[in-house]
Structure 1
Amino acid sequence: MFECGDCGKEFPAGWQARDKHCRLTGHSRPEFECDRCDAWFRSERARWQHMEAKNHFFWGCNDCNETWPTEVQRENHEIDEHCYCRECDRYFSSDNGIQMHLRSRVHRVDSVLCPFCQASYTTATGLVHHLERGSCPRAPFIDRDDIYRFVRSKDPNGLISKKLLGWEYDSVKYEATSRAWNGQAYGCYFCHKAFDSLVALNSHLNSGTHRQSLYHCPKASCRKDFTTLAAIINHLESESCGAVRFDTVQQNIRDIISGNRMIGFR
């Protein structure tokens, strides 16, 4: 049961309802609250001990049930254990493969800064993932729908965004329960992919994988559809269809988030 740290009001529906209440009233969460459950404590030391014992840190791996106290530790774990580059949303078949990738020009470009918290990312995909997943500490309530509305305002000709008649927002949130356990893993109802933890399954359900496609590749001979902005940006950065150069994508994202231009990729 999540509760407001100022007035003590309880929210059995979950932390989203509690955080909405806090935004509307100016109230705050309990000062020493667990990153993943509704437990709260009277000291930071007690909170930390709980999260260590329960594996309840905020930064969770999408491939296993491990959680980490910092984003850097989570990313290092994903590189070392899963050969996964989070900034590019790409898996590699071997440790040598991902190390070569991390040393490539993709990770030597000038950084792309988050307009809210100034976190630095080496690719446009990394920045967009940061925002679409609600990972920005200064803009945690921005989601896929907010990003789509912003892109549409910068893309009146529909170069990469679809003109969806009657679309307002796709705000439905999926939340799996313990009933998703099939005896061996937590299974996705839609695609039957298996996950080691309920947290990982819910992260998958709300990642955009099973939602309406909002974007398409601008190249006429490709026109591949994508459900998230991060996915289409990753597609363009890969230069797999030759729609645009990698460096052009980076510069366009910098210009767009600074409010200097519309989407053009020229």
Structure 2
Amino acid sequence: MPYCPPCDRHFRLENSLDQHIRAVHSQTYCWRCERHFPHARAKQQHLENSPRHHICTHCDYEPDFDSQDDLADHLIEEHHACIPCHEYFSDEEDLLEHDVDVHHKCRTCGRFFSSRSNLINHRKTHAAKNFECLGCSRMFISRSAMVLHLEANTCESGSDEHSIRQCVWDYYEIYGRWNHDHDDDLDCGSCGTYFNKLSALLQHVESESCDASISDYDLLFDHIEQSIC
């Protein structure tokens, strides 16, 4: 027979006991563990310490989530919390700025990355494809990506790494930029760094590590286009 220990009272139906507990013992009864506590503070300590409970202390210990992951989702969505840093922010935008700056979060898709450089490389996947291949109609997100396509011999023009390098060598000879001390390398006209492929040189130019501008290579692109078309 259903029984309430604090009241030393029996009930005919289980439902009647449940209604009684809700009406009289809601502050001292744990439904998940089916336990009575002598006072509200004892129940609160139980909720805080029991591994069976995942409570939000910002919501007066309600609701009690089914898992730690569910609690974490609640803290992020409702209280703008950074779980790894144990920090709370005033609004969603402040949390986003923190995640972007500290945890390298992508604003577009929400993915997190281990470093800022990995995030920067990932952002390129969201960029518009505005650069048409010099040898076919395919579009790319950057000049370096387009040249990498040419070097990889995936262009219908038949270009490959050797033919692109030959185009650059011819261009260097025409414009007097040939450096015989580095016959096999391509140099950055701004900082003098050498690279073994044109795509690598252009990635360097497109990055924030060099003051060179991609427009400095417009004549070279014109020369490559004339050579492969």
TM-score range, shorter chain: 0.3 to 0.5
More helix by share: 2
Larger Rg: 2
Q: Report the TM-score, using the length of structure 2 for normalisation.
A: 0.40
Q: Report the TM-score, using the length of structure 1 for normalisation.
A: 0.35
